[in-house]
Structure 1
Amino acid sequence: MSDILDPQTTAEAAPELAEAQQEATGTVPQVDAAEPAAPEAPAEPAGPTFLDLGLDARVLAAVEELGYTRPSPIQEATIPLLLDGRDVVGLAQTGTGKTGAFALPALSRLAETTDVNGRADTPQVLVLAPTRELALQVADAFDSYAKHLDDVSVLAVYGGSPYGPQLAGLRRGAQVVVGTPGRVIDHLERGSLDLSDLQTLVLDEADEMLRMGFAEEVDRILASTPDTKQTALFSATMPPAIRRISAQYLNAPEEVAVARQSTTSATIRQRYLQVGHQWKFEALSRILETEEHDGVIAFVRTRAGTEELAQKLTRAGFKAVAISGDIAQKQREKTVEDLKAGRVDILVATDVAARGLDVERISLVVNYDIPQDAESYVHRIGRTGRAGRQGDAVLFMTPRERFLLKQIERTTRQQVEEMAVPSVADVNAARKRRFADGITRALERASEEELTVFGEIVAAYVDEHQAEPSRVAAALGMMAQGGRPLLAREQEIPSGGGRDRKDRDGGREGGRDGGRERGTSDGRGSRGPAREPAAGNATYWIAVGHQDRVRPGNIVGALANEVGLPASAIGAIDLRGNHSLVELPADLTSAQLEAAANAEINGRRLGLRKDTGRPTRAERDGEHRGGFRKDRGERGGFRGDRDGGQRGGFRKDRDDRGDRGGFRKDRDDRGSREDRGGFRKDRDDRGFRGDRGGRPGGRKPRWGAQERSDRGARR
């Protein structure tokens, strides 16, 4: 696993740091004849080689076969201490080679005791990692370094995979176990993991483990290990909780710190986009359509957010899939393979789900939701621009999040440049170019026989109808489009200089999130009329609303599938009590109007028609509820949409709260607490009303919040 040891390939978020270390230490494998590493005999001493550190000869042989001769700074400082049996606290950021710093001495000490005492039947080395992705990565590194140690086997234990193979591996006698805290606790409770003879314990990314809420599990595991063990703790930061663990469980530890350097790669172009929340998806779609890119990762905060954005992208014609921490490992592996093979172009991911992900074709990272802190930003954009490849990173921010940009720039020591949203003209130019490229590809792929057949058909048509060939070709192009508009409608995205609707509503998603999903107040109803539709659009009334448990995505799907409307043609959606208002093109054909009127959602006809601005008597009386005056609130006049108990959108259908942004969305699909974002963390601090949406006082800034999002990797 060269990407563990070598800073160039391990720097999850710091490739240029790796380059600086390579210049300083000469750790680059000699694999590129075109760009050989610097000579190992510079004018001044280059520092020790791995040969000088006292590693076991068999471990050293594996390291040399991987192409490395000189350790990184954290390895140079830490390996001798661990070989000497000392406890160590290593402070180093991701990408500094810290896995090699603990794996190489741990294996060397294990080899020495195995030579004397024979093969052990119980684990001698235990490494705790915060996520299954990191656990697999570390286990792979141990396997690589232990290739010449015949009596050492390595086993990864983590949630999301069957217990059977893990239990079998433990029964066979795994000497090195790498696991996530939750699954390690499970095995301890089952009695399948025996730590009584443990020789070495490593906590990798300890601060990340505690941030994810594993403090109790870490305490339980440490308390289950013998006092005679050696302990190594590696962390990027040293918060009080880490110092407590160090003082309580480590024996006079030696502290090793590696100075921070620039944390992002010079090969990554970093840009930011300031746009109101309701325009984010439209802006993202334009970027994806107009800029050249290969693979893409779009980061959001929550599991529900990954699914929602992936569905929107798919409806818009992109090959996108969601990935979060609670998906099964097999599904995750298949998704990554699909991304590598080009069957998927866009991966919508949470931070934890993308840990350890290294796919060469990723050329663009989109921070669709702003990260919770600068370190997360560094981790995110480190998915691109690797090994000298060029990459792009785009950060979306709303006006109220602009102050966070300065924190990112201070942390990365690089300026993030502002970018403009591509115009509709840019989008249409790109679409025309792709259409023309499609003609070229079709001509290249077609056989002469096929070209002859279709050419004769077209020629005969031209002769028979005295038609212009260019107009016939245009008609064929329209056929190829399948009735979908080729060109996008003109739509201006505000510059985002002021506070957007989401900010005015105290954090609720008042906008339509890309021109599709919009609630007038909090997604549950409205006291007043709908806003003016965009140019070329009109507002339409449909006979389904909140009481039918309908969400904006259901409406988009029905209109796209039953009517054939492209997702880009569907504008704002205003969910109300027993009906909804939808913004659609004003020039719908009679066939499209009929199809939309007869389309169904959850067994109810949409009954689509143009909105007149005043409810009919049937609507006022709750036409599809049944019963006289059951819907007393829908009385018309100035009282508006006070249907039943809704009364301004505060209480009705609380289990179906519609589109309220990232805070309580998809309440019916809450699942476990593992992947529900950081916005519920402050639930115990209910005295502060500003973070609950729509109440006076605004919201607490979320920067630095210890989000518990995406804890699917826990067990």
Structure 2
Amino acid sequence: MADTAEQEKEKTFADLGLCDELREVCEKQGWKNPREIQAKAIPCALQGRDLIAISQTGTGKTAAFALPTLQALIQASHQSSRPLAFFACVLAPTRELADQIAKQFRSLGSGIGVKCATLIGKDDMAQQAIALAKRPHIIVATPGRLLDHMKETKGFSLRSLRYLILDEADRLLDDEFEKVMDEILNGIPSNRKTYLFSATMTRKVQKLQRVCLKNPAKIEISSKYSTVETLKQQLWFVPTVYKECYLVYLLHLKFEATTMVFTRTCDATIYLATILRNLGLRAVPINGHLSQSKRFEALNKFKSGQCNILICTDVASRGLDIPSVDMVVNYNIPAQPKDYVHRVGRTARAGRSGLAISLVTQFEVEPFKAIERHLGHEMPAFPTHHCEEAMLVLDRVEEAKRITNRQLKEAGDRKRKGRRGEDEDKIENYLGNKKHKKHRMPKRN
């Protein structure tokens, strides 16, 4: 097995059967050799097989489906005298992931004239319709917005679609998207190529049959619910009443680290981000209730280093390629083990190391034990001496909570008085514009 893995690493993009144009693109991207998922998926795709590909996050899945799709587009364009509009459609469960995939297609296809349109919710439908009227080769979309255009945009149809790609396919096959996905699948041709990619995958045959796979090649780089070896994972048992205090201490302890903090609710992202900003930490929230422009703004601030702490819900747990996340903190323990895998997969990407720390209260022991059972090992505990040290910041945290509660109450009062939307703007402006002061932790006794 070790020899096989070594051979896969030594392969070149030429060995995979990629055409000259795409090999040049890979060289410009700085990709010397294909990653394992690419080395196994691309040859099968070029042979015309449908794909079910399961690989850990950060292993190069996007290029694994983008490159063979672009090669098929190049070959089809040589054989056709007319433009190949709506050649392929990529579906993703979140707007941020769809936007990221579209950027990669544009980057890989820039030298060969590929046109790509992005269809995501909360963006202007009319502008998207104009983009569709230009008849792009590739559509990257969230399911709901794609279905909106299939129903409402005059002249738009996917009856000529040749490739359907589902990224984070297990999420798209969940009950949440079932009705929308069924309508989309009924509106596209069945004689197409279909690729399913994910870090985790449902094994329910009925759900896979809905996607009309034909003799698919199954490629599994990692076992179900696995995490990468370069990820260090720890748990920290914390009392519920002091949970914010422990989080603040941890973020001060890793003051320079680029950190993603996952919470259960949208409100919690705003609440925690405001507390942290009041304490001089560079935090910004992202959740599904924010406008799309605010979500992209938060991501850009995080990626650029303007803010080094992203407080997020699971909207940010899947597929996002943020190159240098040093640490992931589970402020709330997810209900499903696969959600844990996706969360901690935001760090330790592309062979780099990373740290994941889960704050486990007395009420979250059972779901955390379920995660450990699925991963097949127990996690080491965070050093106990930090518990006493964490309490040294209690007074400062309590004061920051009082200030935060007052700010959010004032914003809520404005909303109830009919000034709709102003509360979000004021909170977001506060979070985005407040100047930070570095606060040092109290010295150890």
Structure 2: tracts of 5 or more residues without a match: 422-445
Q: How does 1:32-431 map to 2 (within 5 A)?
A: 46=10, 48-120=11-83, 122-150=85-113, 152-192=114-154, 193-211=156-174, 213-239=176-202, 243-250=205-212, 252-260=214-222, 263-359=226-322, 362-386=325-349, 390-412=353-375, 415-419=378-382, 420=384, 422=386
- Matched AA of 1:228: N
Contact 2:271-2:404 at 8 Å conserved across structures: no
Structure 1: tracts of 5 or more residues without a match: 1-18, 27-45, 429-486, 491-513, 518-551, 562-600, 604-655, 657-668, 670-715
Q: What's the offset of the Cα at 1:114?
A: 1.0
Q: TM-score, normalised by structure 2?
A: 0.79
Change (3 A) 1:488 1:111: closer
In 2: Cα distance, 1:341 partner to 1:98 partner: 23
Q: What's the offset of the Cα at 1:238?
A: 4.6
Which residue number corresponds to residue 433 of structure 1? Answer: none
Instruction: After superposition, give the CA deviation of every residue in 1:367-403 in whole Å (9 maximum; x if it has no partner).
Output: 1001222222222223334456554322011224224
Which residue number corresponds to residue 406 of structure 2? Answer: 557
Change (3 A) 1:407 1:99: same
Contact 1:158-1:180 at 8 Å conserved across structures: yes
Q: What's the offset of the Cα at 1:73?
A: 4.0
In 2: Cα distance, 1:318 partner to 1:132 partner: 27
Contact 2:36-2:221 at 8 Å conserved across structures: no
What is the aligned length?
Answer: 411
Contact 1:157-1:180 at 8 Å conserved across structures: yes
In 1: Cα distance, 2:301 partner to 2:190 partner: 46
Secondary structure of the 1:50 match is coil
In 2: Cα distance, 1:120 partner to 1:288 partner: 53
Q: What's the offset of the Cα at 1:196?
A: 1.7
In 1: Cα distance, 2:150 partner to 2:78 partner: 28
Q: How does 1:634-673 map to 2 (within 5 A)?
A: none
Change (3 A) 1:343 1:206: closer
In 1: Cα distance, 2:60 partner to 2:324 partner: 24
Q: What's the offset of the Cα at 1:515?
A: 5.5
Q: How does 1:368-517 map to 2 (within 5 A)?
A: 368-386=331-349, 390-412=353-375, 415-419=378-382, 420=384, 422=386
The one of the two structures with greater contact order (alpha-carbon pairs below 8 A, sep at least 6) is: 2
Q: TM-score, normalised by structure 1?
A: 0.51
RMSD: 3.7
Contact 1:325-1:353 at 8 Å conserved across structures: no
Contact 1:290-1:427 at 8 Å conserved across structures: no
Contact 1:87-1:250 at 8 Å conserved across structures: no
Secondary structure of the 2:314 match is coil
Contact 1:58-1:149 at 8 Å conserved across structures: yes
In 2: Cα distance, 1:391 partner to 1:96 partner: 15
| 2:23 is aligned with 1:25 | no
In 1: Cα distance, 2:120 partner to 2:256 partner: 34
Change (3 A) 1:290 1:230: closer
Larger radius of gyration: 1
Contact 2:170-2:202 at 8 Å conserved across structures: yes
Change (3 A) 1:276 1:112: same
Which residue number corresponds to residue 464 of structure 1? Answer: none
- Matched AA of 1:178: V
Higher helix share: 2
Instruction: After superposition, give the CA deviation of every residue in 1:48-68 in whole Å (9 maximum; x if it has no partner).
Output: 533233333322322233343
